[in-house]
């Protein structure tokens, strides 16, 4: 039986929440106040995740897609439950689309896109076939390496002459308006709302009593990490470059040079992107596969793995004509049409129904 340690769940959650957020420059529309928007998003996101955990505690032993038939009945609950694995597959396709845009632009400019994406999906397919426990172990090994490099880069940037603290002033110079527009809904949902996927995996935790504490610490670590990189990007690049550039972290890392002989450290940024997006796509697809297995009572995971990986590759390859369209859909259409209903509205209704039924059962 699969059993996951508290550290492995913590490491996996943090790397999942970081995802591509650091590369793209979280909350850049908020300008010099992006780091404030990040911390506020993390604070609100933490309570949203605690709401998911409350649902888990009300229905112990059941995973995300089993909650809805339990509370709403099979005729309504099962169709609602199917939206979640389909959304996870779509979100994985968005990750593939991110790869399609960034990797040929940076690491492999002469390599055909289909070779890059096909190779990645073959590795992910093998990764999924290895099981849930392998994914958590991989995240546990990767976490200290990634954060060691994060700390090294922060120290190198602070030790350089490119950091200008005045770029952070004036604090909230344009008020809370643009900060809140960044926080709601994209800031909360893109980084923290997607954590609802882990409701398919939380039952594997070796000590269930640690679940809330692990998630609170993970959200704090994620929030502070992204806020620090936003601050550094603003201090080094200035508000204008930070807002206009699609990949501000890569531009930020280009400012580093060690003893005038080691430069082009933006390759490290691409490495972060490759490793975290690989893990995030794998988790999207693993949770989708587990959800499909629950909903169809499939005995083997092989066929669901094949179906979701092929579907994801097709979606990611044909999702958008260019990176501008891709970002527009991800920031303007997806949050309002899918994320708000599936990450906030339906779980909130489910929480109220579960609470009322529990109180009614207690009263009887």
Of the pLDDT bands very low, low, confident and very high (cuts 50, 70, 90), residue 363 is very low
208 contact partners, CB below 8 Å, separation of at least 6: 60, 202
d(CA 333, CA 326): 10
In a domain, 126, yes or no: yes
Q: Which residues pair with 262 in a beta bridge?
A: 258
Task: Over range 24-41, report the average pLDDT.
Answer: 85
Task: Give phi and psi for 258, each to the nearest 5.
Answer: -100, 110
Angle (CA) 97-226-38 rounded to 5° is 100
Of the pLDDT bands very low, low, confident and very high (cuts 50, 70, 90), residue 26 is confident
Q: How many domains does the chain have?
A: 1
In a domain, 127, yes or no: yes
Question: pLDDT: is 231 or 107 the higher one?
Answer: 231
In a domain, 260, yes or no: yes
pLDDT of 246 strictly over 90: no
The Cβ-side half-sphere exposure at 30, using a 13 Å CA radius, reads: 30
Structure tokens at 312: 């994801």
In a domain, 129, yes or no: yes
Question: pLDDT: is 305 or 240 the higher one?
Answer: 305
Find the helix packing angle between 302-318 and 266-296, rounded to 10°.
130
In a domain, 108, yes or no: yes
Is the whole model's pTM more than 0.85, yes or no?
A: yes
pLDDT of 109 strictly over 80: no
Question: pLDDT: is 10 or 175 the higher one?
Answer: 10
d(CA 125, CA 305): 7
d(CA 306, CA 303): 5
Range of the domain at 273: 6-346
Of the pLDDT bands very low, low, confident and very high (cuts 50, 70, 90), residue 266 is low
Q: State residue 66's pLDDT score.
A: 94
Burial tier of 188 (Cβ tally within 10 Å: 0-12, 13-18, 19+): buried
Task: Over range 280-301, report the average pLDDT.
Answer: 91
Question: pLDDT: is 185 or 92 the higher one?
Answer: 92
d(CA 263, CA 267): 9
d(CA 8, CA 265): 29
Question: pLDDT: is 215 or 176 the higher one?
Answer: 215
Q: State residue 364's pLDDT score.
A: 39
For 305-354, what is each residue's pLDDT tens digit?
999 999 999 998 888 777 778 778 877 888 889 999 999 999 999 999 99
In a domain, 352, yes or no: no
In a domain, 364, yes or no: no
| CATH label of the domain that carries residue 172 | 1.20.1740.10
For 163-208, what is each residue's pLDDT tens digit?
888 888 888 878 888 899 889 888 899 889 999 999 999 999 999 8
pLDDT of 362 strictly over 70: no
In a domain, 351, yes or no: no
Give the residue from 126, 124, 123, 137 showing the smallest Cα distance to 2.
137
Q: State residue 264's pLDDT score.
A: 59
Task: Over range 242-257, report the average pLDDT.
Answer: 74
For 143-169, what is each residue's pLDDT tens digit?
998 888 888 888 877 777 778 888 888
């Amino acid at each position: 039986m699969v059993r996951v340690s508290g550290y492995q769940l913590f490491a996996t959650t943090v790397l999942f929440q970081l995802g591509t957020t650091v590369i793209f420059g979280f909350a850049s529309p908020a300008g010099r106040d992006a780091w404030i928007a990040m911390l506020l998003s993390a604070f609100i996101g933490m309570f949203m995740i605690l709401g998911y955990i409350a649902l888990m505690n009300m229905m112990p032993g059941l995973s995300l897609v089993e909650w809805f038939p339990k509370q709403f009945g099979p005729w309504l609950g099962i169709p609602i439950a199917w939206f979640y694995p389909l959304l996870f597959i779509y979100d994985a396709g968005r990750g593939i689309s991110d790869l399609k845009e960034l990797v040929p632009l940076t690491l492999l400019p002469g390599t055909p896109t289909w070779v890059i994406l096909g190779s990645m999906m073959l590795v992910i397919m093998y990764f999924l076939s290895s099981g849930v426990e392998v994914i958590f172990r991989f995240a546990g090994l990767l976490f200290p390496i990634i954060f060691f490099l994060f700390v090294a880069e922060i120290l190198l940037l602070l030790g350089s002459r490119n950091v200008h603290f005045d770029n952070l002033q004036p604090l909230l110079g344009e008020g809370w308006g643009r900060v809140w527009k960044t926080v709601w809904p994209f800031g909360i949902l893109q980084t923290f709302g997607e954590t609802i996927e882990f409701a398919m995996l939380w039952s594997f935790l070796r000590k269930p009593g640690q679940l809330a504490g692990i998630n609170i610490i993970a959200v704090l670590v994620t929030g502070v990490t992204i806020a620090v990189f936003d601050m550094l990007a603003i201090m080094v690049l200035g508000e204008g470059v930070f807002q206009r550039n699609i990949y501000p972290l890569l531009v930020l890392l280009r400012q580093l040079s060690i003893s005038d002989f080691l430069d082009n450290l933006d390759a490290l940024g691409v490495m972060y992107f490759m490793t975290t997006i690989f893990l995030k796509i794998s988790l999207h697809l693993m949770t989708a596969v587990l959800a499909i297995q629950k909903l169809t009572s499939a005995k083997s995971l092989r066929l669901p793995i094949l179906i979701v990986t092929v579907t994801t590759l097709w979606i990611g390859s044909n999702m958008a004509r260019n990176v501008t369209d891709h970002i527009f859909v991800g920031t303007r259409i997806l949050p309002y049409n899918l994320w708000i209903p599936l990450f906030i509205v339906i779980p909130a209704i489910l929480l109220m129904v579960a609470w009322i039924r529990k109180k009614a059962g207690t009263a009887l």
